[in-house]
Amino acid sequence: MDMKVAAEAGLGGPIDRYLAALHRRISEVRDGAIATYIPELAKVDPELFGIAIATVDGRVYTAGDAGVPFTIQSISKAFVYGYTLAEYGRDYVLSRIGVEPTGEAFNSIVLDEVHNRPFNPMVNAGAMAAAELIKGETPEARIATMLSALSRFAGRSLHIDDDVHRSEQATGHRNRAIAYMMLNSGMIHSPPETILDIYFRQCSVRVTCSDLAVMAATLANDGVNPLTGEVALERDYVQDILTVMNSCGMYNYAGQWSYEVGMPAKSGVSGGIIAIIPGQIGIGVFSPRLDLHGHSVRGVRVCKEISETFGLHIFRNHTNSGAVIRHELTGAVVRSKRMRAPHERERLDKEGQRIRLIEVQGGLFFGSTERLVRRVDEISVEADYIILDLRRVHDADTAAGRLLVELDTGLAERGRRLILAHMRADGRLASLHALMAAHGDGEARLFEHRDNALEWCENSLLASVADARDLTKFSLAQLDIFKGLDRDEIRVLEGMVRPMVFEAGETIVREGDEARLFFVVARGVVTVQLRIRQDGGDRVLRVASLGPGVSFGEMALIDGGRRSADIVADERAVCYGFSVEQLRETGKTHPNLLLTIMGNMMRDFSERLRRANGEIRALEQ
């Protein structure tokens, strides 16, 4: 199911729910005031508020008024600066526009007179110098070039708001003063009104909050638009934009912003803010009320909370998020070491799609975990049990924990179960283990090994589709190893069966013992295990678990010999024991009895071998 459809159906994922809650909470903030020095901006509804997050692989999450258009204003400066770098090269642009922060407001009349250039491209003076560099033989051609450049970042055609443009033209006298000062000192060479016209037009381009997130995600994605796949800017210049945004994008608040939020960002007086986490996401926020620095009050709050909640400060080290999912398997393909009776295997073949196992790899942080939870949310439409195999995960940060908690909550609301495997309280994922254990409802959900997780899911699934068969009663005819025997042959077996009860932890068969009996489990679970000598001690390796209806020790019917492993009762177990010697003797007078049992054994071994081969092929794909 498409994530947008899922959200509309009330099945939104963790990030959708998080953004909705964040939007509700910050909607209560009503500090700040709308910019009025551009009259057209003063007409906007002060309660408009949108949030959007776009990932580097093209997923856009939104909350609130993310589709409401407004003008881009100073946010355009970052993208026009990128255009100039691509057209003229780093050295030339640096000779015309510096990269030093001013510590002043965006419209300060202050210039770098030592180098005879504006201090940086994020203040108005630097943006005007960049606007002069937009190519075109005519004013109309230059406007088309500017719109084309911005549209590549947004992934759609953008247009100018003529009312806002006229309002800026009528009231932009301070910008005119800056432009004429720059002309006087030789920082620009074209007529100021010509430069101002295109500058006012670029600030008047209409965008939405979602557009801003995609534009930001394009920078996060090394200049490639995540929606269209088009290269909006060569990757070599992306670092230049992000560096200047980090030091200058928030003007005289840039240092504190970088310290507290830690994302390259750019704001605009219409109430927009973009923020970028390289390699992961772009954020767009829109809310018109501004603080004393000229930044959206709610926008600043949103970015701070997202950064703090998910640990997204850029100076936290993260790895690539693209390959978080190593493999996906269904319960119809991969099974636990629990050896099942044929009828149970048939059930798991039919219903196994309801169990999904995802092998996860690398580090879990916001970008990688977002991809993981998005995939889990997609497959949860069909799967009831979803296992995350975390054995190849070397780290999980606060963002990963938060997203997995949100994912677990959402799945539980829809009757699904999230199961985490290879989780130990004292392992490298100890903090994630503690967080998930504290969040849980007491059901089995965290397992040290994926095999235990698979067995738990299989047991739960089989219990939910249980048939009328009851293997806890003394009924040999119901046991698969005796399938095909007639009534007289079953009576012969009943005369030689030895019901045996074993308490939890009791050894039923010991490695090296002479094989005199073979068994069928009637009740409870037993485990086949090997003792491996290692570093001067013994390590117990679980080979398989056996439940009702499954036989063990039957190879003694073929070759006798000695036991090759220990078999221990996991819980109080009832087993049916049969003397190997007596069965062989009975076979002389009832040859069909022994042939049928051995034929059932061979079919069972063959089916297990085919399944093992299928699982190996699936794992090798």
> d(Cα 108, Cα 121) in Å, to the nearest integer?
13
Q: List the alpha helices (DSSP H) in 468-518.
A: 487-496
Asked whether the beta carbons of 271 and 42 are under 8 A apart, the reply is no
Q: Is the dihedral of CA 136, 137, 143, 147 positive or negative?
A: negative
Q: Helix or strand or coil: residue 276?
A: strand
pLDDT at 33: 95
Between the alpha carbon of residue 372 and those of residues 92, 242, 360, 376, the distances in Å are 43, 27, 8, 6
Catalytic residues: 74, 77, 199, 251, 269
The CA-based dihedral angle spanning residues 257, 261, 264, 266, taken in that order and rounded to the nearest 10 degrees: -60
What domains are there in the chain, each with its CATH number? 3-310 (3.40.710.10), 325-464 (3.30.750.24), 476-620 (2.60.120.10)
Three-class DSSP category at 512: coil
What is the reported pLDDT for 6? 39
Q: What is the pLDDT of residue 121?
A: 94
pLDDT at 346: 84
- Neighbour order of strands in the sheet with 446-447: 325-330, 355-364, 385-396, 417-421, 446-447
Regions of the chain short of the pLDDT cut 70: 1-11, 103-107, 109, 316-322, 440-444, 466-474, 534-537, 559-560, 611-621
Q: Are 309 and 14 in contact (CB under 8 A)?
A: no
Centre a 10 Å sphere on the Cβ of residue 510 and count the other Cβ atoms it contains. 12
Residue type, 314: I
Give the integer Cα–Cα distance in Å for 529 and 566.
5
pLDDT, position 425? 86
Residues in the chain: 621
Q: What is the structure's pLDDT at 7? A: 39
Model pLDDT, residue 471: 46
Note the pLDDT of residue 444.
47
Q: How far apart are alpha carbons 152 and 156 in whole angstroms?
A: 7
Pairing of strands 537-546, 338-339: parallel
Residue 21, C-beta contacts closer than 8 angstroms, at least 6 positions apart: none
Report residue 66: phi and psi, to 5°: -70, -15
